[in-house]
Every structure is written in structure tokens, then in C-alpha cells.
Structure 1
């Protein structure tokens, strides 16, 4: 579904990604792990077309997408839920969700709204409420729900547990498992290593803009030397 080969990207004179190879197959959860500052968010931005790639290739559903505009990538079904939620605080919960179907999913808007409200019942209760007045956990639910409104084929979740209490983190990972159980491919980009490895089928570990470890999540979780060397555990 997603094939990345030799991806190089950065900002100005700074090269952040230094030859990334990565794959996501249909229906699987793939975790991309690493400490803060190793290039995970830059990877997400390059895949989403928010920054240009300098070398390498990105193919989604067999089509080259490097160099395409973000709107075109969304239209293809690759949807990125960014770190920090990025909701529209002065708009209602419902209007935030509806905006998720602006580029893709308009025909299924009402059906998808009901699906989101079934997945996140608290959003139904707060449908008319300004999004900026939601709790941090509810805002994260809204951000993911907005992404799902676009009928993604692959959804990239960038640090969905960031800033949440331990109880809400547990709930958030449970909700991601439910989303994936419906057959949606998920690329989970996280610093929360333990729970990400419990949820994912495969994992990549990043360090200094490179993939340093790749394999099954179970193998990585069972290797204390890898976790200590690259993840600080």
C-alpha cells in the first residue's frame, strides 16, 4: 500500500531524513518509533506532501506521490492526523468533523458522522460545543474522527497519546485497535513504545533520520538490547 525507498528530506540546509525505507501493507498497523527529534514528524510531513522530498521515492497504492500537493495525496486516501491535534477551536465539533470530508468522502458524510459518533460517543454528546472547549483527550478523538471522515485507505497518526493521562492513553490505544479491526491500515508514529509494540504487527525504529531497526513488533519488544540502545528503555 505504501512503499518508501531512499527518502531524503529536510528544511533549508538541514537534512533530516537520510534514506528512509518503509512499507505499510493493507490492513496492518505499523509503528514508527523513536525519541523526540529523530525525524518522525518530518517523515509524516514528507509522506503527506507538506514538505518536498529531495531524493528517493514514495508510492501509494502503486502510484508515485512524491511531489504531489497535499490535497491530491488526501484525495488518494492517505490521510495524516498531525501531532498537536490542529483542530479549529472556534468551530463546533460537528463542523470540525464535516471539514474532514471536504476533499474526500462527501458522498458518505452522514454515514461517516454516525460511524464517528458510534466510535467516539463523547463527540456526539458535544456535537454543538466549540472544539476548543473540549478536554485534551476529546480533542484527540476529534482529530482522529476528522481524519476518518475522509474515508482513508491509510491513516497516519502522529503522537496520538501525547499529553494524555495514563488512563486516556489506554483508552486511545483501544480505540486505535478498533479502527484497525475494521480493516483500515494505520501507521502509528509514537514515542509511547510499550503500548505501540503491543498494538502493532510490525515496527520501525528511527534514529538520526534513519531506520536503524525493522521487524515484527513482538521481536523488537522482546529484545532488551534494542530497546535500551535506541528507545532508552
Structure 2
């Protein structure tokens, strides 16, 4: 589904990613873990075309996308749910969701809206409510639901547990597992290590723009080098 080779990216003369190789197969969850400032968000932005790759290649569904603009990448089925939710606070829940199908999935908007409401029943209850009045957990549901409206082949989730209470974090990871069980491929980019490894088929630890540990999720969870790599100790 996604194949990244030798990816170098950054801002101006500053390199943030320094030769990243990454694969996501159809139907799997792959986690990218790391603390703040190691390049996780830059990776997401480069995959979705917001930041242009300086070197390397990105193949999605068999075609190169590293030279494409973000709308074309969305149209191909790679959809990025950004860190911080980025909802439109003065618009209603339904209006926010409908914007998710602006570039892709418009023909099936009504059916996809019902699908989102089945996944997130609380959004159905608040469908006419201004998005900015939702709780943090509900706003995260809305952001993910907006991504689902675009009929993604691969969904990039950037820090979906950020700022949530422990109970809502548990609920969020259960929902991610459910989306994957329905066949959706997910690139999960997180700081929450153990819960990410519990749902991911494979995982990578990013440090200073490079992957320093990689492996099956359950194997990495038991790896004594995980804490050293993750904390930089």
C-alpha cells in the first residue's frame, strides 16, 4: 500500500528526516513512535504532500506520489488526520464531516456519513452542534470521522491520543483497532508507546530523523532497548 525509500525532508537547509524507509501493507496498522521533535509530524506532512521530499521516493498503491500536490494525494486515497484535530469550530459536526468528502467520496457522502455515525454514535447525537463546543475526545472522533468520509485506502493518524484522559485514550485505541478490523490500513504516529504497540502489527521508533528500532509490535514491547531508544538514554 505504502512504500517509502531513502526519504529525506525538512525545512530550508535543515534536514529533519535523514533517510527513512517505511512500508505499510494493505490491512495492517504500522506505528511510528517517538518523542517530540524527532520528525514524526514532518514525516506525516511529507507523506501527504504538505512538505516536499528533498530526496528518496514515496510510492502509494503502486504509483509515485512524492511530486504530487496534497489534493492529488487525497484523491488517491491517502488521508492524513493531523495532530491537534484541526476542526472548523464554528461549523456544525455534520458540516465538518461533509468537508471530508470534498475531494474524495462525494458520491457516497450520505452512506459514509451514516458509517461515521455508526462508528461514533456521539457524533450523531451532536450532529447539529458547533464543533468547537465538543469535548476534546469528541473533537478527535470528529477529526477521524472527517478522514473516514474521504474513503481512505490508508489513514495517517497523527497523535490521536494527545490531550485525552486515560479513559478516552483507551476508547480511542479501541476505535482504531475497530477501524482496522474493518479493513482500513492505518499509519499510527504516536508518543503513546505501549498502547500503540498493542494494536500495531509492526512498529518503528524514530530518533533524530532515523528509525533506530523496528519490528513486530509485540516484539518491540518486550525489547529491552525500547526505553533506551525512545528516551535517548
TM-score (norm 2): 0.98
Match status 1:230 vs 2:233? no
Residue 139 of structure 1 aligns with which residue? Answer: 139
Q: How far is the alpha carbon of 1:230 from its aligned partner? A: 1.4
Q: How far is the alpha carbon of 1:227 from its aligned partner? A: 1.6
Taking the aligned partners of 2:214 and 2:34, their CA distance within structure 1 comes to: 12
Q: Which runs of 5+ in 1 are unaligned?
A: none
Taking the aligned partners of 1:205 and 1:231, their CA distance within structure 2 comes to: 7
Residue 178 of structure 1 aligns with which residue? Answer: 178
Residue 219 of structure 1 aligns with which residue? Answer: 219
Residue 158 of structure 2 aligns with which residue? Answer: 158
Taking the aligned partners of 1:61 and 1:166, their CA distance within structure 2 comes to: 35
Asked if the contact 2:85–2:143 (Cα under 8 Å) also holds between the matched residues in 1, the reply is yes
C-alpha RMSD of matched pairs (Å)? 0.8
Taking the aligned partners of 1:40 and 1:230, their CA distance within structure 2 comes to: 15
What do the CA deviations read for 1:170-220 (whole angstroms, capped 9, x no partner)? 000000011000000000000000100001010011000001111101111
User: What secondary structure is seen at the aligned counterpart in 2 of 1:53?
Assistant: coil
TM-score (norm 1): 0.98
Q: How far is the alpha carbon of 1:228 from its aligned partner? A: 1.7
Taking the aligned partners of 1:20 and 1:110, their CA distance within structure 2 comes to: 39
Asked if the contact 2:7–2:17 (Cα under 8 Å) also holds between the matched residues in 1, the reply is yes
Residue 12 of structure 1 aligns with which residue? Answer: 12
Q: Which runs of 5+ in 2 are unaligned?
A: none
Q: How far is the alpha carbon of 1:67 from its aligned partner? A: 1.4
Runs of 4+ in 1 over 3 A off after TM superposition: none
Taking the aligned partners of 1:173 and 1:188, their CA distance within structure 2 comes to: 10
User: What secondary structure is seen at the aligned counterpart in 1 of 2:57?
Assistant: strand
Residue 58 of structure 2 aligns with which residue? Answer: 58
Taking the aligned partners of 2:216 and 2:170, their CA distance within structure 1 comes to: 22
Taking the aligned partners of 2:83 and 2:131, their CA distance within structure 1 comes to: 16
Asked if the contact 2:93–2:142 (Cα under 8 Å) also holds between the matched residues in 1, the reply is yes
User: What secondary structure is seen at the aligned counterpart in 2 of 1:79?
Assistant: strand
Taking the aligned partners of 1:67 and 1:137, their CA distance within structure 2 comes to: 35
* Equivalent runs, 1:22-41 vs 2, <5 Å: 22-41=22-41
User: What secondary structure is seen at the aligned counterpart in 1 of 2:54?
Assistant: strand
How many pairs were matched up?
A: 232
Q: How far is the alpha carbon of 1:41 from its aligned partner? A: 0.3
Taking the aligned partners of 1:79 and 1:55, their CA distance within structure 2 comes to: 22
